[in-house]
Amino acid sequence: MGNKLFIKNASELVTCAGTLPKTGREMNEIGIIKDGALIIEHDTIAAVGTTLELSQSYDVQEMTVIDAAGKCVLPGFIDAHTHFVFAGDRSEEFSWRLKGMHYIDIMERGGGIMNTVRATRKADAAALMELGRTRLNSMLAMGVTTVEGKSGYGLDLGTEIKQLAVMQELQQTHSIEIIPTFLGAHAIPPEYKGRGDEFIDYLITEVLPPVAEKKLAVFCDVFCEKGVFSVEESRKLLLAAQNLGIRGKIHADEIVQLGGAELAAEVGAISAEHLLHISDQGIERMAETKTVGVLLPATAFSLREPFAPARKMIDAGVPVALATDFNPGSCYTSSVPLIIALAALSMNMSPAEIITALTANAAFAVGAGDRIGSIEPGKQADIVILEEPSHIFLPYRVGMNLVETVVKKGRVVWQSSGKMPCEKDLG
């Protein structure tokens, strides 16, 4: 066997090739090749075509083969918005929310994000690493090959750096690729109660510079929300981050319409995320600037809030991505199948648009569209093989994990097959 991998006979090979980010009708063009195949050399995709074309043009005899007959082959999924490094849980708050208490009321009473901040400040790096690793394992099993991870459960220099350093360390030891985002402006800590503006100044002068210097974050995010950080404070922080070479992202218009989408377009943020309450003007501005709308349907579902207007945004030309928002408060799930089901059945996105939103546009939203997010020669070999013949089965089989094999950088890193302990040994 050589060091080349030949994946052949795919009922459907979905390439997601094309210029990024994809908008409007382009989101439906996912480049399906029937009886598709690809050749991987080391960690890179070397060729893509039909099985016949590739078998005729390459010496495939020497290659390791994966037969994908009856299966659908896709680019690895990219979860472009998560908060996966934290300690503790908020199950008690969840039970209060089930009884009707609002997420923001819990936050204003000192629970919410601060609850997780207290637990994360106390946890040591080794404990956070173990928690992070377990969470990455379950993401990988659902076909996630790259994940964006936000800090924001420290809100002080030491803990923010601890969270980011844990992500950097996990990056060395886990096959999932991690894109770290600095979210120091996630809440106002009690030390700065009523002085959000001073907290922003603290982040700008004391925390951002070492984060930038140690190259611990690719993006800087802010929770731009009524009662948290205003548009002015968010603008100030994002411009300061940009001066240090760290591009912006915004938790925008999640609970209240505040103008976060417009701000994202104004400052040249790569994305605005959530957007449940985006204004028409925000949609227009994001379409003009091609700012990605990272939509998080499981959060709307879990908070019992309305879904982001995905249809309106796509039709207006906003590039849309989908992500889980995995976090212990508003959305404690990293389930890609749930995201797919909600996007199809509650947001009216087509199966093809959903695939684009979880691959090509998600790659663009994490600043990695040149490397990942599609199956094209020269791109990193991050591949998912489904147990069904077409991508349409993803929303059709509501909430089911259809991922059979995951390839990261040319290496098979996860497979669903293998004898289950529930089977009787008849041998």
Yes or no: say if 383 and 406 are a contact pair by the CB < 8 Å rule. yes
**Which of 145, 151, 234, 327 is close enough to bind ligand NIG by CB under 6 A?**
327
116 binds, options ligand NIG, Fe ion, none, Cβ within 5 to 8 A by partner type: ligand NIG
- Contact residues for Fe ion (CB under 5 A)? 325
What's the rounded Cα separation, in Å, for the pair 406 and 387? Answer: 12
Which one, of 197, 186, 194, 126, lies nearest residue 156 by Cα? Answer: 186
User: Smaller CB distance to Fe ion: residue 329 or 395?
Assistant: 329
Task: Give least dist CB 217 to ligand NIG, A.
Answer: 16
For ligand NIG, the binding residue among 63, 85, 113, 217 (CB under 6 A) is 113
Instruction: Tell me the three-class secondary structure of 204-249, residue by residue.
Output: HHHHHHHHHHCCCCCEEEEEECCCCECHHHHHHHHHHHHHCCCEEE
Q: Is 299 in the site for ligand NIG (CB under 6 A)?
A: yes
CB of 325 to Fe ion, least distance (A): 5
H helix runs in 34-124, sequence order: 51-57, 91-98, 103-108, 113-122
Considering the rule CB under 6 A, would residue 229 count as an interface residue with ligand NIG?
no
For Fe ion, the nearest residue by Cβ is 325
SS3 179: strand
Residue entry with tokens 């490094």: 85
Q: How far apart are CA 279 and CA 37, in angstroms?
A: 43
Give, to the nearest 10 degrees, the angle between helix 157-173 and helix 125-141: 50
Judge contact between 141 and 104, C-beta under 8 A.
no
Question: Of the two residues 26 and 273, which places its CB atom closer to ligand NIG in the complex?
Answer: 273
Q: With CB cut-offs between 5 and 8 Å by kind, which of ligand NIG, Fe ion, none does residue 223 bind?
A: ligand NIG
328 is a site residue for ligand NIG (CB under 6 A): yes
- Our finding on whether 116 is near ligand NIG (CB under 6 A) is yes
CA dist., res. 90 & res. 342, Å (int): 23
Q: Considering CB distances under 5 to 8 angstroms, the limit depending on partner class, which of Fe ion, ligand NIG, none binds residue 219?
A: none
**Whose CB is nearest to ligand NIG?**
329
**x/- string (CB under 6 A) for ligand NIG, residues 55-94?**
----------------------------x-----------
Q: How far is the CB of 407 from ligand NIG (least distance, A)?
A: 30
Task: Sort strands 4-14 and 64-67 into parallel, antiparallel or unpaired.
Answer: parallel
Q: Which is nearer to ligand NIG, 36 or 112 (CB)?
A: 112
Please, what is the minimum distance in Å from the beta carbon of residue 316 to ligand NIG? 23
Stretch that binds ligand NIG, among 5-13, 14-22, 110-118, 241-249 (CB under 6 A): 110-118
- Measured CA to CA, the distance from residue 207 to residue 185 in angstroms comes to 11
**Amino acid (one-letter) located at 329:** G
Q: Which residues bind ligand NIG (CB under 6 A)?
A: 83, 112-113, 116, 223, 251, 254, 299, 325, 327-330
